[in-house]
Structure 1
Amino acid sequence: MSTLLNATEQKKPNLWRRARHSFAVARHEPANLMGLVLAIFFAYLILAPVLSILVDSFIVQSGDEVRTHQDEGSFTLYYIVRTLFSRISEILLWQPLYNTLAIAAGTVMFSMSIGVVLAWLVNRTNMAGRAWFATALIVPFMLPTWTFALAWTTIFKNRTVGGQPGWLESLGITTSNSVAYGYFPIVFILVLHYTPLVILIVGNALRRLDTQMEDSARVLGAPSRVITFSIVLPLIRPALMSAVLLIFADCIGEFAVPYILGLPVRYDTLATGLYRALDTRQNGVAAVIAGVIMIIGVMTLLIDVRMMKEARRFVTVGGKGNMDRLRKLGRMRIPASGFAGAFVLIGVVLPLLTLFLSTIMILPGRFTLENFTFDYWIGSNLDTVALRNGILLTPEFWQAAWNTIVIVGSSSIISGVLGLLVGYAVLRCSFKSVSSFLRQITFLPYLVPGIAFAAAFLSLFAVARGPIPALYGTPLILIIALVAEKMPFASRSGIAAMTQLGKEPEEAARIAGANWLSRMGKIIIPIQAGPLATGILLPFISGIKGVSLFIILAIPSTDVLTTYSLRLLDYNYDQAANAVVLMIALIAWLGTVLIQKISGTGLAQGLEN
């Protein structure tokens, strides 16, 4: 017995010494301090608004005292019972939930199938015009989703909705409700919108994949099928998972397209149901619906964590692969270009052409010479109440454009840098709990619909709290809200990039005596220049077409292009509003080119015709 006690007493100092040694080693790892700082920062920026929404599900809201028979602010289960178990729960939750999941599943399946093929054609083959397609295929993601919805209704609108008929209806061609509205057009439009996201993320992974591993497998006699499924797909699995998660989560909270194309046939989703609840001042019901969306997101996160453990087994030792050798398509070279061209035609040319024609038509759908005018672009002294001149001659338009560039541009740069730092901290941090918390909390904004997230942000920053002053009415609240909302784009890009980068290059520099700043500036950032540019580009082209945050947080002095276009729609100036949407697409395009020039990398980097 005494021998056992002595052995136990001897183990205690050893355990204490090992713990002290581990702590000392961890203290000198910069990624640990970085991870802790980022975790605290995002906990306040992201977690606090999310918690406020969850609390609203169990607190009696203003105006519901009579209905709940309780005082305002009291604890209640009324909203849970009403939304989940009452006679109207099928309308409030269950049918919208089914519709939402069906839309998300269909969008993920088709966008991944098309996007992976296009990413492979552009980055790994000698397809004709591949350098041009590398940029042209991304354009649909620069356009607001409601741009496609407006173009769709312009063409396919039928008698179900009053007002001006659609173009086909004007030509005597009647479209059914299943074509004009509901599931089919919603999924079709979202696939067009999110396929470029797959091309960006997967294409970046394919460009960085070392082809020498594939060459070695071919030398050993491995067939193409084995190389694809045993080498290529495992190595780009982090990028594939990132694309799936981003698209699925974004579809869960998508509002504009289901609102425009679902409302006429009462095809509700969780996002439109939430909007209805907020619009009718049912804040408690809205909080429950938001909670359901967050539960779906948490389930997605759990799947992500499990799959990432497998993905970490596959890393690229070097920073860049040898991508000089391309797959020869032979007779399929031109058909492959035709496939990519068809996507550009359907996803870019037709919607933009439709919107442009609508901006120069006095009456929609009438293709006569006297019906065309450029007054909504450059006209003056128009016979309207709120729009006296064409948008290019309106000072409010240019002020909104400047606000958009400053606010969205600043938040995008911050998001891109933070995303790369999050990826570095997640993969290098010694504290696994901090690493797991950081990668999950940066995904949380996708779990909350944009309108609810903006409302929660407003409640958090509308008044001064401690050292943080009241930010409502300033551009700063829009910048930090956009940084928080777009972190899933930036962080997933950074994490996917760092997952493929092994520790060997940085460890070699550490042994050579390079400090952390030198390693970041001369090794990590140069190797990850492409992902950093993508981490900036994705929030920019996503934020510039954002709607939900700006509706709640913007005031006239901080008006942006999206809120300006929506105000024109409120006055039924559809032509001018569509013109503003086209300018949004143009600014997004110019911003993309500028980011590529500044970063020295681009979507078409290294590609030749």
Structure 2
Amino acid sequence: MNAAVRLKMFFRKPYNVILVVLFVALVLLTLLPLLSIVMDTVTVHSSEVMRIHGTHAGDFTDYHWRKVLMDGQNSINIFYKPLWNTIMISIATCVIAIGCGGGMAWLITRSDIRFKPLLSALFVVPYIMPSWTLALAWLDFFRNPLVGGVPGIFTALTGIVTPNWFAYGFFPISVVQGLHYAPFAYILIGGILKHMDANLEEAAQLLHASRMQILKRITLPMVKPAILSTFLLAFSSSMSAFAVPAFLGAPVRYQVLTTQLYRTLQGLNPGYGYLMALVLILIGVGIMLVNQKVLDSRKSYTTITGKSSQISLVKLRSLRNPLSVILSILLICVTVVPLITFAVESFIVEPGNYSLSNFSTVFWTGAGSTDIANGEPGILRNHSVYRGLINSLVLSVICAFFAGTIGILAGYSIVRKKGTFLSNAVSHLTFFPYLIPSMAFGAIYLSMFSVPRGPIPALYGTFAILALIGTVKYLPFASKSGINCMLQLGNEIEESAIIMGIPWWKRMVRIIIPIQKTSILSGYLLPFISCMRELSLFILLVTPSTAVLTTMLFQYNEKGWNQYANAINLLIVFVVLFVNWIINKLTGASIDKGIG
């Protein structure tokens, strides 16, 4: 059989065509842009010509590398100090996330604490909501008059002025991000604790080992892979976080790599920014490679056996009732109270004054006044806000549709050709965008599509670049969902249809998709929710005409129009929570299901 015949037979199978098309597209959209950003670190940009003497835009230079990495105090200020801040925050975030999440997982699965369904449901809410929700709530509650002159709710109620270290910078950023990522630990560690064979613990009890000895010698070693995975996931996510450090660090000029990257790309030093983006990408890839190795090592830890695993719950005795009540109150403070603070702050005319006479609906329904936010109308009468809401919804639907559809096709093709080079390559490429921090990914696409490249026009400033980057960035969620649901289907189902002469598209629409519609639906809805609450990915790429709600919130906050920012934040949170509720009703899915 000659090569032409083999090639023709190869492309007669739909999954081979899909794999080839996806391979080429993903190489162009994920790997080649990396080359573009590398080139931008050694290229003179038009805004830098006046500083890099004797050069022209487009010339080769090592200026950025020297200035960022080897320029003494200047390098310390613009790179090494933000890098150190980023690393320290990431470590503190991991400690808080594992401590809170792991502790809650143990209480829910191994103790007789009360209100388990309520505690379990409340604990995952901070992750369902956008990460910057808690950051804004912290500002509303704990900001002090020392920076900006406006006290927060805590100071207004108690008269106690919070110190700068408590209100801004390292401490609140670490706490907020730690609480946001604590559900990672809760889900991973809780899943293992729930299904772990209790025979070892029972044997230790028979040998009169204390609860602390059992915890140190048996329980912790068994959940070590989950703890390490949580550490690496939270560390990676914290490294790439932008919104929380921007909100809580900006008042005291506390910089991390992502906020410094934003400043340089928005300013006159884009080369610095692209170099920082490259550093973030390398750190992200390195962390995820370590994470993959840890996950692979998970195979050597058996937690479920065929033997009885009836778990004897730890009796909290006199601590049961007070601990249950205290945890319930704390979780309500973390999940419900922020929404109340947003509502209160969105009605306050004069910041810091919480008397009833100072409440007004002007920021919601006002027509606009020259003495308030330069005449900005209330958000319910604000055409810009409605345009941002429409942009957010349309963008989320587009990204979800394309990411979900491509994820289904990728999952189908990867499973059908499982084990081949092409299948493995496409599987890795669909996951690759997850390795790149969102801010760095935005910088890549800014570099790639800010100028025309061959037949592709400059996309910066268009809705197309937002839809493109959103689709590629959220493809890992959809593709993993597609792969998982296709792995559950036996080949016999489709083979029977092939024998009956049913075309491929009918097999997909009439057989495969209906059977796995619940799992497939999640491949569409997860990108939708992620897109609705995304800020870091789009902040470098939006223009006034393509602004979405999250970028508008950030811009209002930068201008000091906190009432509008709080109102928009409340709107976003309700949209995200409503969509999550719809997902739960349609699919029955719940990320805490099976633990609480």
Q: TM-score range by the shorter chain?
A: 0.7 to 0.9
Q: 2:445 aligns with which of 436, 457, 463?
A: 457
CA distance in 1 between counterparts of 2:311 and 2:515 reads 24
CA distance in 1 between counterparts of 2:535 and 2:24 reads 28
Q: 2:180 aligns with which of 193, 199, 211?
A: 193
Letter in 1 for 2:431: T
Deviation at 1:281, TM superposition (A): 1.2
CA distance in 1 between counterparts of 2:549 and 2:308 reads 40
Deviation at 1:479, TM superposition (A): 2.2
Cα gap change, 1:45/1:134 in structure 2, threshold over 3 Å: closer, same or farther? farther
Pairs within 5 Å for 1:189-228:
189-199=176-186, 211=195, 214=197
Pairs within 5 Å for 1:324-473:
331=316, 334=321, 337-338=324-325, 340-380=327-367, 382=369, 384=372, 386-387=374-375, 389-412=377-400, 414-415=402-403, 418=406, 429-431=418-420, 435=424, 438-439=427-428, 442-444=431-433, 446-450=435-439, 452-461=440-449, 471-472=459-460
Deviation at 1:93, TM superposition (A): 1.6
Equivalent pair of 1:386/1:571 in contact (CA under 8 Å):
no
Letter in 2 for 1:214: D
User: What is the aligned length?
Assistant: 570
Cα gap change, 1:271/1:553 in structure 2, threshold over 3 Å: closer, same or farther? closer
CA distance in 2 between counterparts of 1:221 and 1:240 reads 23
SS of alignment partner, residue 46 of structure 2: coil
Deviation at 1:261, TM superposition (A): 2.5
Name 2:237's counterpart in structure 1: 250
Pairs within 5 Å for 1:141-156:
141-156=127-142
Cα gap change, 1:352/1:448 in structure 2, threshold over 3 Å: closer, same or farther? same
CA distance in 1 between counterparts of 2:424 and 2:522 reads 22
Letter in 1 for 2:63: Y
Moved more, 309-318 or 544-553: 309-318
Name 1:587's counterpart in structure 2: 575
Equivalent pair of 1:461/1:471 in contact (CA under 8 Å):
yes
Name 1:41's counterpart in structure 2: 25
Unpaired runs of 5+ residues, structure 1, are 1-22
CA distance in 2 between counterparts of 1:477 and 1:200 reads 34
Equivalent pair of 1:422/1:439 in contact (CA under 8 Å):
no
Deviation at 1:599, TM superposition (A): 2.8
Equivalent pair of 2:189/2:223 in contact (CA under 8 Å):
no
Name 2:4's counterpart in structure 1: none
1:577 lines up with 2:562 in the alignment: no
Normalising by structure 2, we get a TM-score of 0.78
Name 1:12's counterpart in structure 2: none
SS of alignment partner, residue 551 of structure 1: coil
Name 2:45's counterpart in structure 1: 61
**What's the CA shift string for 1:83-109, capped at 9, x where partnerless?**
111112111222211111111122123
CA distance in 1 between counterparts of 2:413 and 2:223 reads 25
Moved more, 373-382 or 296-305: 373-382
Name 1:136's counterpart in structure 2: 122
SS of alignment partner, residue 274 of structure 1: helix
Equivalent pair of 1:422/1:494 in contact (CA under 8 Å):
yes
1:275 lines up with 2:262 in the alignment: yes
**What's the CA shift string for 1:221-272, capped at 9, x where partnerless?**
9998688568x748xx5x7666544432221122222233223444321112
Q: 1:78 aligns with which of 54, 63, 77?
A: 63
Name 2:82's counterpart in structure 1: 96
Deviation at 1:282, TM superposition (A): 0.9
Pairs within 5 Å for 1:479-558:
479-487=467-475, 506=489, 509=492, 529=518, 536=524, 538-558=526-546
Cα gap change, 1:563/1:344 in structure 2, threshold over 3 Å: closer, same or farther? same
Moved more, 81-90 or 567-576: 567-576
Equivalent pair of 2:518/2:587 in contact (CA under 8 Å):
yes
Cα gap change, 1:304/1:155 in structure 2, threshold over 3 Å: closer, same or farther? closer
CA distance in 1 between counterparts of 2:218 and 2:238 reads 33
CA distance in 2 between counterparts of 1:322 and 1:601 reads 29
CA distance in 1 between counterparts of 2:302 and 2:495 reads 23
Cα gap change, 1:521/1:143 in structure 2, threshold over 3 Å: closer, same or farther? same
Deviation at 1:149, TM superposition (A): 2.5
**What's the CA shift string for 1:166-193, capped at 9, x where partnerless?**
3444453232222122211110011122
Letter in 2 for 1:187: S
Letter in 1 for 2:468: I
Deviation at 1:159, TM superposition (A): 4.5
Deviation at 1:220, TM superposition (A): 9.4
Unpaired runs of 5+ residues, structure 2, are 1-6, 207-213, 499-503
Deviation at 1:305, TM superposition (A): 3.8
**What's the CA shift string for 1:40-98, capped at 9, x where partnerless?**
33222222333221111111222434525333322222211211111121112222111
**What's the CA shift string for 1:352-392, capped at 9, x where partnerless?**
22222111212222232211222222344545465564322
CA distance in 1 between counterparts of 2:480 and 2:326 reads 29
1:158 lines up with 2:144 in the alignment: yes
Cα gap change, 1:433/1:522 in structure 2, threshold over 3 Å: closer, same or farther? closer
Equivalent pair of 1:65/1:71 in contact (CA under 8 Å):
yes
Moved more, 27-36 or 477-486: 27-36
Equivalent pair of 1:376/1:576 in contact (CA under 8 Å):
yes
Q: 1:304 aligns with which of 291, 296, 306?
A: 291
Name 1:291's counterpart in structure 2: 278
Cα gap change, 1:487/1:305 in structure 2, threshold over 3 Å: closer, same or farther? same
Cα gap change, 1:303/1:339 in structure 2, threshold over 3 Å: closer, same or farther? farther
Deviation at 1:198, TM superposition (A): 4.4
Cα gap change, 1:64/1:401 in structure 2, threshold over 3 Å: closer, same or farther? closer
- C-alpha RMSD of matched pairs (Å): 4.7
Normalising by structure 1, we get a TM-score of 0.77
SS of alignment partner, residue 214 of structure 1: coil
SS of alignment partner, residue 150 of structure 2: coil
Deviation at 1:337, TM superposition (A): 4.3
Cα gap change, 1:48/1:124 in structure 2, threshold over 3 Å: closer, same or farther? farther
Equivalent pair of 1:377/1:391 in contact (CA under 8 Å):
yes
